[in-house]
C-alpha cells in the first residue's frame, strides 16, 4: 500500500447497528489508519472537521450520508489535497443528494437507479455497490457453530413492527400464525398506539419474543430458528437495492426466505443461496416445504453464508471502493 493511507471517516458511528462502524473496521483490516467522526453528534462539526484535516492531514475523507454537512466543507477538503468519497446507503433519492454528490471526487451508492441518475446529471465518478456484512461484530467465526437443543421458533423476523411502513411485516406474522406456524419476532416493544391499529387484530404482539437483538444475539437467533422471513420496510425503492439485513442473516448462517425485490439476484443465486416468495400462497408453500426438508434448508443456508463471507464482507466492499479509486488514477 502506497501513499497517504489515513482516512477521515465522517458518518454515524455511535450506535451498535451503524454501518459506519463496520466500514471503519473493513478499512482498518486493509491497513488504513481511520479517524472516525460522527458529525451527527457534534454541534460545531464543520469547524472541528476542518481542524482534524489541518492537524491529521488525511489522504481521504469518506462521508457516509452527510445530510448535515455543507458542500463548501467538502470543497475545502479537496483544496487541502484530500480525495473525497461519498457513500449513500439509501434506496430513496432526496433533493439535497445530487448537489452534494457533485462536489465529491467519488460517489458510491447502494442503489443502481440512483447511481445512473447521478452519472446522467454531472457526477463524474460514481459506482453502485452492495452493502455488506461485518462477521467479527456478529461473532463469526465461532458463533455460526452454536446450535441450541431446540429452536427458538420455526420462523422468525427481526426488526420494528407497528408503524404503517412495517404493515407488511405484521401481515406476514398474522398470516403464518393463522396457518399454525410457530413464528416469533424480535424487536422494540410495541407502543400502545400501534397495538390498536386494525392490522394488529391477528395478535402480532403475542408473537413478540420480548427483546431486541443485535450482533451476536442477532446471530444466535438467526442460527436457532428454522426460517428467517425477510420483509423490508414499505418505502419507495429506486431500482436495484438490497438492505444489509439479507447479508447479515446469510452471513450468520441462517436460512433466508424473503420477499422478492429487485436486486436480490445480483448478489445471490435464488434457490441455492437464499429463497424468495412473491405472494402469500408462495410464502406458505415454501415455509411448509422447508420446515419439512431440513437437509435442503441447511444446504441453502450454508451456501448463502459462503457467498457472503467470500464476496460481501465490509473488508471486501471497502477494498472494491479503494481499488476502483486507484484504477481511475485520480487519487
Residues 231, 119 share a domain: no
pLDDT averaged over the chain? 90
The number of distinct structural domains making up the chain is 2
Residues 215, 112 share a domain: no
33: pLDDT strictly greater than 60 = yes
Residues 289, 195 share a domain: yes
Print the domain residue range for 230: 140-311
The grid cell for 190 is 410495541
139: pLDDT strictly greater than 70 = yes
Residues 260, 170 share a domain: yes
150: pLDDT strictly greater than 90 = no
Residue 10 preceded by cis peptide, ω within 30: no
pLDDT of residue 195: 55
Residues 307, 318 share a domain: no
Q: Which of 198-207, 220-229, 279-288 has the lowest mean pLDDT?
A: 198-207
pLDDT of residue 1: 62
Measured between alpha carbons, how far is 297 from 293 in angstroms, rounded to an integer? 6
Residues 178, 86 share a domain: no
Residues 181, 96 share a domain: no
156: pLDDT strictly greater than 70 = yes
47: pLDDT strictly greater than 90 = yes
pLDDT of residue 5: 94
Digit-coded pLDDT (tens) for 57-95: 999 999 999 998 999 999 999 999 999 999 999 888 899
pTM here is 0.92
What are φ and ψ of residue 10, in 5° steps?
Answer: -110, 110
- Strand-pairing partners, residue 9, are 36, 62
On whether residue 125 sits in a domain, the answer given is: yes
Residue indicated by cell numbers 457513500:
87
Residues 239, 205 share a domain: yes
The closest alpha carbon to 205, from 213, 217, 218, 195, belongs to 195
230: pLDDT strictly greater than 90 = yes
Measured between alpha carbons, how far is 85 from 96 in angstroms, rounded to an integer? 16
125: pLDDT strictly greater than 60 = yes
H-state helical runs in 57-186 = 71-79, 97-102, 112-120, 167-178
Residues 77, 146 share a domain: no
Which residues, in sequence order, are CB contacts of 331 under 8 Å at separation 6+? 3, 59, 83, 325
On whether residue 53 sits in a domain, the answer given is: yes
Residues 124, 159 share a domain: no
pLDDT of residue 192: 65
Query: Which one has a higher pLDDT value, 168 or 51?
Result: 51
Q: What is the DSSP letter of 262?
A: T
CATH of the domain at 262: 3.40.50.2000
Q: What is the DSSP letter of 152?
A: S
What are φ and ψ of residue 226, in 5° steps?
Answer: -80, -35
231: pLDDT strictly greater than 60 = yes
On whether residue 1 sits in a domain, the answer given is: no
What percentage of the chain reaches a pLDDT higher than 90? 72
Residues 172, 281 share a domain: yes
Residues 102, 49 share a domain: yes
On whether residue 250 sits in a domain, the answer given is: yes
Amino acid at each position: 500500500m502506497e501513499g497517504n493511507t489515513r482516512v477521515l471517516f465522517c458518518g454515524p458511528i455511535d450506535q451498535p447497528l451503524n454501518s459506519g462502524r463496520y466500514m471503519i473496521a473493513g478499512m482498518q483490516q486493509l491497513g488504513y489508519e481511520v479517524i472516525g467522526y460522527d458529525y451527527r453528534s457534534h454541534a460545531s462539526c464543520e469547524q472541528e472537521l476542518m481542524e482534524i484535516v489541518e492537524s491529521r492531514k488525511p489522504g481521504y475523507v469518506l462521508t457516509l450520508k452527510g445530510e448535515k454537512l455543507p458542500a463548501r466543507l467538502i470543497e475545502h477538503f479537496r483544496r487541502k489535497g484530500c480525495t473525497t468519497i461519498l457513500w449513500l446507503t439509501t434506496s430513496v433519492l432526496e433533493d439535497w443528494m445530487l448537489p452534494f454528490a457533485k462536489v465529491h471526487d467519488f460517489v458510491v451508492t447502494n442503489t443502481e437507479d440512483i447511481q445512473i441518475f447521478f452519472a446522467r446529471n454531472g457526477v463524474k465518478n460514481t459506482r453502485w455497490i452492495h452493502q455488506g456484512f461485518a462477521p467479527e461484530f456478529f461473532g463469526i467465526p465461532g458463533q455460526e457453530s452454536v446450535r441450541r437443543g431446540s429452536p427458538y421458533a420455526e420462523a422468525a423476523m427481526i426488526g420494528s413492527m407497528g408503524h404503517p411502513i412495517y404493515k407488511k411485516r405484521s401481515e406476514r406474522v398474522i398470516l403464518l400464525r393463522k396457518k399454525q406456524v410457530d413464528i416469533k419476532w424480535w424487536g422494540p416493544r410495541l407502543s400502545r398506539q400501534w397495538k390498536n391499529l386494525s392490522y394488529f387484530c391477528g395478535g402480532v404482539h403475542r408473537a413478540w419474543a420480548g427483546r431486541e437483538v443485535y450482533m451476536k444475539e442477532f446471530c444466535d437467533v438467526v442460527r436457532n430458528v428454522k426460517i428467517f422471513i425477510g420483509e423490508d420496510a414499505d418505502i419507495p425503492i429506486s431500482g436495484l437495492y438490497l438492505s444489509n439485513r439479507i447479508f447479515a442473516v446469510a452471513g450468520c448462517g441462517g436460512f433466508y426466505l424473503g420477499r422478492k425485490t429487485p436486486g436480490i439476484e445480483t448478489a445471490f443465486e435464488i434457490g441455492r443461496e437464499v429463497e424468495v416468495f412473491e405472494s402469500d400462497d408462495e410464502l406458505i408453500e415454501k415455509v411448509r416445504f422447508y420446515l419439512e426438508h431440513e437437509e435442503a434448508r441447511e444446504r441453502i443456508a450454508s451456501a448463502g453464508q459462503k457467498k457472503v463471507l467470500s464476496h460481501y464482507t465490509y473488508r471486501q466492499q471497502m477494498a472494491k471502493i479503494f481499488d476502483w479509486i486507484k484504477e481511475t488514477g485520480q487519487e
